[in-house]
Amino acid sequence: MSPFQTKPSPVTDLSAPTTADSNQLTTDRPDTGRPDTGRPYAGQSREQRSAQRQQQFLAAGLEVFGTDGFRHTTVKSLCRTAQLTDRYFYQEFGSLEGLLQAVYCQQMERIYRLLEEEFQRCVATDNLHQLVRNSLQLFFTELEDPRIARVCMLELEGVSADTDALYLSYIQRFARQLTDVLQTLRQAKDADWHISEEEAELLGTGLVGAMRQITTSWLLSNYAYSRDLMVSSGERIILGLMSQLN
């Protein structure tokens, strides 16, 4: 698989815990507001302190962007949540948009990896229905956190051309991930696509867009529908398309 390349994130580690752990903000080193001289402090190198600050800002960004929204967030409120000064914020991320992109990338990369692991498990069983059901169950479980859903589904659109390009790159990447695994299952049954690569890409983008839209509706309805209904609805959409390719 060769997923679309996305814009590198300025974050040192995109795999840090987020959902349950993101509210537990800690500062092992007091934020004195003085320049970081690079000398070891409390057993941590300058690089380690920088990585820790990044994670504090990422956790704060998920909390504030995911509750108040990007357009209502200030550097002051963000730094208050992170328990760090604005000097460190600008040093690590440069702008609120830079942090928004980093938080988005962190969450999308984590969901992408979880889906990839699930795809690999299910492909071995050669069971399309199980693959679709399990993957949707995983996806909607992650998006039950309204902060993650808001950042991933709502907050990036219209911020800037650069952020729009990042957003589109992830849609394309998830579309390629989905069509690759569906094509792998068809090939295992000696069934060809009978469609061009361009059409497969468009269909994959349509499926990702459908999942995004029903997730957005779920979020905006304050999760009025059960997760089981979300899974079964998504399953009908994906399997309905697959039936047209037989």
- Read off the pLDDT of residues 174-227 as tens digits, 9 standing for 90 and up: 999 998 888 887 766 656 667 788 998 999 999 999 999 999 999 999 999 999
Separation between Cα atoms, residue 90 and residue 95, nearest integer Å: 6
- What CA–CA distances, in Å, run from 37 to 29, 46, 159? 13, 8, 35
pLDDT over 70 for what percent of the chain? Answer: 79
Separation between Cα atoms, residue 210 and residue 234, nearest integer Å: 8
Report, as an integer, the average pLDDT of 13-40: 43
Least Cα distance to 206 among 236, 171, 244, 240 occurs for: 171
Q: Would 195 be classed as within a structural domain?
A: yes
Q: Would 37 be classed as within a structural domain?
A: no
Q: Rounded to a whole number, what is the largest CA-CA distance in the chain? A: 65
Q: Would 199 be classed as within a structural domain?
A: yes
Q: Is the pLDDT of residue 33 over 60?
A: no
Least Cα distance to 97 among 47, 173, 151, 49 occurs for: 151
Q: Is the pLDDT of residue 117 over 60?
A: yes
Q: What is the pLDDT of residue 231?
A: 97
Q: Would 185 be classed as within a structural domain?
A: yes
- Please give the residue range of the domain that contains residue 197: 105-244
Domain of 216, CATH number, reads 1.10.357
Separation between Cα atoms, residue 9 and residue 14, nearest integer Å: 8
Q: Would 225 be classed as within a structural domain?
A: yes
If one compares 86 and 10, the residue with the highest pLDDT of the two is 86
Mean pLDDT of the chain: 83
- The total number of structural domains in the chain stands at 1
Handedness of CA 9, 12, 16, 19 (dihedral sign): negative
Q: Would 201 be classed as within a structural domain?
A: yes
Residue listed under structure tokens 């047209």: 244
Q: Is the pLDDT of residue 74 over 50?
A: yes
Identify the band that residue 125 occupies on the pLDDT scale cut at 50, 70 and 90: confident
- 178 in Cβ contact with 200 (< 8 Å): no
Q: Would 76 be classed as within a structural domain?
A: no
- What is the reported pTM? 0.80
Q: Would 90 be classed as within a structural domain?
A: no
> Would you call 148 exposed, middle or buried from its count of C-beta atoms within 10 A (0-12, 13-18, 19+)?
buried
